[in-house]
């Protein structure tokens, strides 16, 4: 009974505290709060700094606890150093010379000169330290927001496969952890129209696309019926069509996004080029074609990547040897199709070297 009464009393306080702590915590406004707090901490209005910081936070709509907290940079531990830096900066501003580090002149004239240097230097030092604090805060929150968004979308993909078998769930979970291609996809603008994944496997990349837009039309194909079956369970109720079909015969719809992540090495060189051209033709204007191949120019990493593929081909009884064209050949095929091309070389969490080609179809020329 007493605990219920206590919870009833404390709940509004907790809710108020949560709102107060999280108000205006976008990277830009949080950086502004830190700048204001550090700057006010250096303005020589001792006894009124906290009130001034809160007043400015209210005036500009900044996070009040963060603004107030930033003023505590001027604490007994740091204050001697901050005073010394203010005197140094003030003397440089007034005389053009840095002050020599020595025991301060305690005579009336020396104290008067030192106080003058302190008054002149304290405000610009506040601006400098405030700017440094604001920049650090901005990038920390940007990274935190990015990581939070990534965790949310990865979590959404794992939840989509929650009704699949434990083996399929485990494969999806570890694939998301180990393969950096998903970080690249998360950082890209993947559009809003139809998305196609050729050689989709379980459909993990399509699930990542769907995590941002559940109503998007999705399509994919793969030769492994077990993975397609798992994907159909994961996409139950979504606007998604997964088929057991060869990428060479799959009828491509008009699409805003086409993905080929680990398929091209199964095809002959002429089949690879033909598939690239077909994908480029199926794209809508401004659509993206993203595919991954092994990087053949990375020495031992390239050798390990090829050896890894050979093992996968052997266990999968592919009946062919993996074949990769050079980056120049892939680039040439895309250029011939009129695509705008970006290449990103990266090393996976496994010791594998890859190139991701991000090809964008230019918009149609509009003539007056």
Contact 174, 161 (CB under 8 A): no
CA distance 15 to 30: 20
Verify that 168 and 223 share a domain, yes or no.
yes
Last residue of a domain, one of 148, 176, 196: 148
Domain presence at residue 229: yes
What Rg, from alpha-carbon coordinates, does the chain have? 30
The answer to whether residue 156 is domain-embedded is: no
130: tokens are 């405030």
Q: Provide the 10 A C-beta neighbour count for residue 334.
A: 23
Q: Is residue 20 part of a domain?
A: yes
DSSP for residue 85:
H
**Could you list the pLDDT tens digit for every one of the 368 residues in the chain?**
555 655 555 554 444 444 444 565 777 888 888 999 999 988 888 778 888 888 888 888 888 888 888 888 888 888 888 888 888 888 888 887 776 655 565 666 666 777 788 888 888 888 999 999 999 988 888 777 666 777 888 999 999 999 999 999 999 999 998 888 998 998 888 988 999 999 999 999 999 999 888 789 999 999 999 999 999 999 998 899 999 999 999 999 999 999 999 889 889 999 999 999 999 999 999 999 999 988 877 777 777 776 777 777 667 666 677 788 888 999 999 999 999 999 998 877 777 788 999 999 998 644 43
Q: Decide if 159 is inside a domain.
A: no
Is residue 235 within 8 A of residue 207, CB to CB? The reply is yes
- Cβ neighbours of residue 303 closer than 8 Å, sequence gap 6 or more: none
Do 37 and 70 belong to one domain?
A: yes
- Confidence at residue 230, expressed as pLDDT on a 0 to 100 scale: 96
For 171, half-sphere exposure in the C-beta direction (CA atoms, 13 angstrom radius) is 14
List the beta bridge partners of residue 258: 196, 289
**Contact residues for 286 (Cβ-Cβ < 8 A; gap 6+):** 191, 256, 360, 361, 362, 363
The number of folded domains in the chain is: 2
On whether residue 29 sits in a domain, the answer given is: yes
Is residue 35 in some structural domain?
yes
Same domain, 126 and 244: no
Give which of 211, 150, 216, 199 is closest to 177, Cα–Cα.
Answer: 150
Are residues 125 and 198 part of one domain? no
Q: Are 35 and 66 in contact (CB under 8 A)?
A: no
Domain boundary residue, one of 117, 148, 179: 148
Domain assignment of residue 314, yes or no: yes
- Same domain membership, residue 278 and residue 137: no
State the CATH number of the domain containing residue 280.
3.40.50.150
Which residues are paired to 346 by β-bridges?
A: 354
* Residue 86 and residue 111 in one domain: yes
The verdict on 258 and 223 lying in the same domain is yes
- Residue 154 in any domain: the answer is no
| Locus of tokens 């979590």 | 155
Query: 5-10, long-range: CB within 8 Å, 24+ apart, which pairs?
Result: none
Q: Could you tell me the residue range of the domain that residue 104 belongs to?
A: 2-148
Shared domain check, 205 and 174: yes
Q: How crowded is residue 6: how many other Cβ atoms within 10 Å of its Cβ?
A: 10
**Closest among 220, 217, 216 to 262, alpha carbons compared:** 220
pLDDT at residue 21, rounded to an integer: 47
Domain shared by 127 and 96, yes or no: yes
* 222 and 110 share one domain: no
Residues 51, 181, single domain; the answer is no
* 8 Å CB contact between 360 and 286: yes
What pLDDT score does 232 carry? 96
Residue pair 272/325 in contact (Cβ under 8 Å)? The answer is yes
């Amino acid at each position: 009974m007493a605990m219920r009464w206590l919870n009833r009393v404390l709940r509004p306080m907790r809710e108020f505290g949560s709102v107060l702590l999280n108000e205006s915590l976008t990277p830009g406004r949080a950086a502004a709060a830190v700048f204001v707090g550090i700057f006010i901490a250096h303005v020589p209005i001792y006894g009124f700094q906290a009130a001034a910081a809160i007043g400015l936070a209210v005036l500009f709509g900044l996070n009040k606890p963060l603004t107030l907290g930033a003023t505590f940079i001027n604490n007994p531990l740091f204050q001697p150093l901050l005073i010394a830096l203010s005197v140094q900066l003030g003397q440089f501003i007034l005389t053009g010379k840095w002050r020599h580090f020595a025991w301060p002149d305690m005579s009336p004239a020396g104290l008067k000169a030192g106080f003058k240097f302190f008054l002149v230097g304290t405000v610009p030092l506040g601006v400098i330290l405030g700017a440094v604090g604001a920049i650090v805060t901005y990038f920390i929150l940007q990274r935190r927001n990015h990581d939070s968004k990534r965790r949310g979308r990865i979590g959404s993909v794992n939840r989509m496969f929650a009704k699949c078998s434990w083996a399929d769930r485990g494969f999806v979970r570890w694939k998301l952890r180990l393969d950096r291609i998903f970080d690249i996809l998360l950082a890209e603008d993947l559009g809003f129209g139809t998305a196609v994944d050729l050689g989709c496997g379980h459909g993990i990349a399509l699930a990542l696309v769907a995590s941002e837009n559940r109503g998007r039309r999705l399509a994919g194909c793969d030769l492994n019926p077990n993975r397609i079956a798992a994907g159909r369970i994961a996409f139950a109720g979504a606007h998604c069509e997964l088929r057991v079909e060869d990428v060479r015969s799959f009828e491509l719809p008009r699409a805003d996004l086409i993905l080929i992540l680990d398929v091209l090495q199964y095809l002959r060189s002429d089949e690879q080029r033909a598939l690239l051209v077909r994908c480029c033709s199926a794209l809508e204007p401004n659509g993206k074609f993203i595919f991954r191949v092994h990087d053949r120019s990375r020495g031992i990493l390239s050798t390990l990547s090829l050896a890894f593929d050979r093992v996968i081909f052997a266990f999968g009884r592919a009946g062919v040897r993996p074949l990769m064209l050079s980056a120049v050949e892939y680039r040439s095929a895309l250029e011939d199709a009129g695509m705008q091309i970006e290449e990103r070389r990266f090393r996976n969490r496994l010791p594998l070297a890859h190139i991701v080609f991000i090809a964008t179809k230019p918009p149609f020329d509009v003539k007056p």
